Chain A
């Protein structure tokens, strides 16, 4: 069964802390994405990657960075967490071609105090 695994389901951090969210997929997918999901809003794309060591900014990259050192792993980094980054973070992957069919992880709910 295909799987996208996010390292933490729930995190509580303090303002100013550095936060790492890890995502691993076992489908040998080229494309990986980080979204945040907030009530009343559609999924918003933070960063995406089409290949190892490659990254592209999405719609809301400010305050975030990413790392893709291996094909299966895509990490989201909050250099200095702020309260407005409290959200559900969803990682997704897709293969080449049909780029709209995404496989999502279970999500990481981050609370920044």
Chain B
């Protein structure tokens, strides 16, 4: 079966750095996506990786290793507004998105 694993919850301190991991086992791979979802709101697109390596976008970076079935989202200089759930999703061989359950990130002052 297809599976995406990410930690259920993480806690970090304002101003620090946090890394949210995602491992996947899917039938085929056509890209990995990270979304941010604030409580009670819609998910919003953060990043897309299809080749191995690091993609940087401001304070957020996303890394992919296809051979290891592994990705991480790196958040730097954490702000209170970064408190949210972060969803990892993989586009499989049928171009369907397979979603992880999400990681709830709690930022403490």
Contact = CB atoms under 8 A, between A and B. Distances in A.
A90 B42 CA distance: 8
A102 B45 contact: yes
Contacts of A101: 33, 45, 48
A43 B98 CA distance: 8
Interface in B11-36: 30-31, 33, 35
A100 B91 contact: yes
Nearest to B98: A42
Contacts of B102: 42
| Size class of the contact patch on chain B | 20 to 34
Nearest to B95: A99
Contact of A40 (B40, B42, B91, B101): B101
Best-surrounded residue of B8, B33, B42, B95 (most CB of chain A within 10 A): B42
Given A42-B87, A43-B87, A100-B33, A90 B99 contact: no
Given A90-B43, A102-B45, A106-B42, A43 B99 contact: yes
29 contacts: A4-B42, A40-B8, A40-B101, A42-B87, A42-B89, A42-B99, A42-B102, A43-B43, A43-B87, A43-B97, A43-B99, A44-B99, A45-B97, A90-B43, A98-B48, A99-B91, A99-B95, A99-B97, A100-B31, A100-B33, A100-B48, A100-B89, A100-B97, A101-B45, A102-B35, A102-B43, A103-B45, A104-B44, A106-B42
